[in-house]
Amino acid sequence: MNSSPRVPETPKTEADVTRVGLVSLSQAAAYLGLRDPRTVRKLVRENKLKARKIGSRILVTSKSLREFAEA
The whole-angstrom separation of Cα 1 and Cα 14 is 33
- When comparing pLDDT for 5 and 33, which is higher? 33
**Domain annotation covers residue 2:** no
63 within a domain of the structure (yes/no): yes
Is residue 40 assigned to a domain? yes
- pLDDT tens, 33-68? 999 999 999 999 999 999 988 888 899 998 899 899
Report d(CA 53, CA 43) in Å as an integer.
15
Distance, CA of 37 to CA of 1 (rounded, Å) = 30
Question: What is the number of domains present in the chain?
Answer: 1
pLDDT of residue 67: 92
Q: Is residue 50 part of a domain?
A: yes
Q: CA of 51: how far to CAs of 3, 44, 66, in Å?
A: 23, 7, 13
* Bigger pLDDT: 61 vs 17: 61
The CATH number of whichever domain residue 59 belongs to comes to: 3.90.105
Range of the domain at 28: 14-70
